[in-house]
Each structure stands twice: as structure tokens, then as C-alpha cells.
Structure 1
């Protein structure tokens, strides 16, 4: 297992916290929010907006995973084959 620097650990943790925040915001807006933004095709716009936040949160989790995966590669700074 490769040892990560403090900056890399903080960066990965921040990415995970941001992704979790977007997911929680999406769940809140889609299901628990009291605001009424109207209907679109008989479905609340809050649900659509919350779904977008949730999808973006999952995208952020995926990007955090890819960032962490790239940190483990030993080819950093090597160009060419």
C-alpha cells in the first residue's frame, strides 16, 4: 500500500465530503423540502432538481474515486514510453 501525503489525503477527503453534501442536498430537495416550485408533467420540479443534485453527487463520488486511483500510479512525472 502506498503512503499518501497529507495534502493528498485532505484533497480526497474534501472531494468525498463535497460529494456527500451534494447527495444529501439532492435527497433533501427531492423529498423533504417544503418549497413548491410547480409541476412538470405532473411531477414536482423539486423532485427533478433533487435528482439532478443527487446525480451530480454520484458523479463527484466517481471523480473522487478516479482521483484516488490515479494517486496510486507510480508513473507520475514520467512522459513517453
Structure 2
């Protein structure tokens, strides 16, 4: 029972400490890009889309990998 509670606590702690800042960074970055693109009335180019996708993939991939390690390290 303690092991289950520890895993749950680590998952919640990992989400709060890693997940929320990552989501906030990606959200602000996207909002900045959209605001810049809309104000300048330029279409989204491939470089901008690729940058956003790389940041999202690296951030959420790292979060998923970290959480996976935390869950399996206690079993």
C-alpha cells in the first residue's frame, strides 16, 4: 500500500514540478508565435512549425521518459 502511495505521490510531484512548467513554456511560446505571426500578417512557415514541434516533442518526451523511470524504479 505504501509503494502505491509513493508511486502516486511521485507521479503528482513529477507532473507539478516538470509537466506544468513545460506546458506553460510551450503555451507562452505558441502564444508569442501566434501573436507575432498575426500582427505581422505572415503565414506560418515550415521553420516556425518545425521549431514548435521540436520543442513540444523534446519537452513531453523528456517528461514521459522521466515519469516512466520514476514508476519502474519503485517496483
**TM score, norm. by length of structure 1:** 0.49
Asked if structure 2 preserves the Cα contact closer than 8 Å seen for 1:29 and 1:46, the reply is: no
The structure in which a higher percent of residues are helix is 2
Query: In 2 relative to 1, CA 45–63 (structure 1 residues): closer, same or farther, beyond 3 Å?
Result: same
> Which 4+ residue blocks in structure 1 deviate beyond 6 angstroms?
none
> Which of residues 12, 24, 28 is equivalent to 2:27?
24
Query: In 2 relative to 1, CA 64–19 (structure 1 residues): closer, same or farther, beyond 3 Å?
Result: farther
Gaps of 5+ in 2: none
Structure number, greater radius of gyration: 1
The number of equivalent residue pairs is: 68
Alpha-carbon distance in structure 2 between the residues aligned to 1:57 and 1:23:
9
Gaps of 5+ in 1: 37-41, 74-81
Specify which structure has the bigger relative contact order, considering alpha-carbon pairs within 8 angstroms and separated by 6 or more residues: 2
